[in-house]
Homo-oligomer: A and B are copies of this chain.
Amino acid sequence: MTTAAPVPTPAAGPRERMVRSAMALICRQGVSGTGLREVVAHAAAPRGSLQHYFPGGKEQLVGEALALAGATASRTVGRLTEAGAAFGPGDVVAAMVGAWRRWLAETDYAQGCPVLATVADATVGSGALRMATADAFAAWQAGVEAALRQAGVPAERSPGLAVLLISALEGAIVLARSRRSLGPLDDVQRELTPLVDGAVQA
């Protein structure tokens, strides 16, 4: 089993490293299972830096980790829109599924989606962290919608299809971790590709 990733880059300061470490640890252990001392140790941050950078404590740190997760997910599809080459809706599905296929294989299925883990965590309730999960999903959805529109999907159809793609991928990740098999990701990609390609305006 590999260690929690993404590995903090040496250039990142302690604040950024702690946010990245929190995200990586939540992927593996969930919010309840991730202690603040563990985040500080994982980030190789100085003692006391947590209070300095995150006066709002664990809630602030986890909130920023979820925001990073939403931005990261959005960037996965954003690379398509920024590359300048033409792409179809099926390429959006391929980019989303492909990133998770690699991630699950690299982590031996130990690391799932940190946003899903937070929603599933009973201690989160319906307060600030629940809203942070909604913001992370909204950022991801905005990225997917933009990519679908650029791929030719009508604007009125893009939000519903983006919700479907994110939902199906999230569920397939859970099935894949349960089975320790990438099969569910293959099934979802195979079934959804013609659906989204068929949504392109003629």
Contact = CB atoms under 8 A, between A and B. Distances in A.
Interface string A147-175: 00000000000011101101111111011
A178 B112 contact: no
Interface of A, secondary structure class, is helix
Interface residues of A, number: 46
Given A160-B190, A191-B195, A134 B167 contact: no
Please give the count of copies of this chain that the complex contains.
2
Given A30-B121, A171-B168, A163 B178 contact: no
B112 A120 contact: yes
Contacts of A115: 178
Contacts of A130: 178, 180
A184 to B, nearest CB: 5
A188 B170 CA distance: 13
Contact of A179 (B137, B161, B179): B137
Interface of A: 28-30, 32-33, 109, 112, 115-117, 119-123, 126, 130, 133-134, 137, 159-161, 163-164, 166-172, 174-175, 177-180, 183-184, 187-188, 190-192, 195
16 contacts: A30-B121, A112-B119, A116-B120, A116-B171, A119-B174, A126-B180, A163-B172, A164-B191, A166-B175, A167-B168, A167-B169, A167-B171, A167-B187, A167-B188, A170-B171, A191-B195
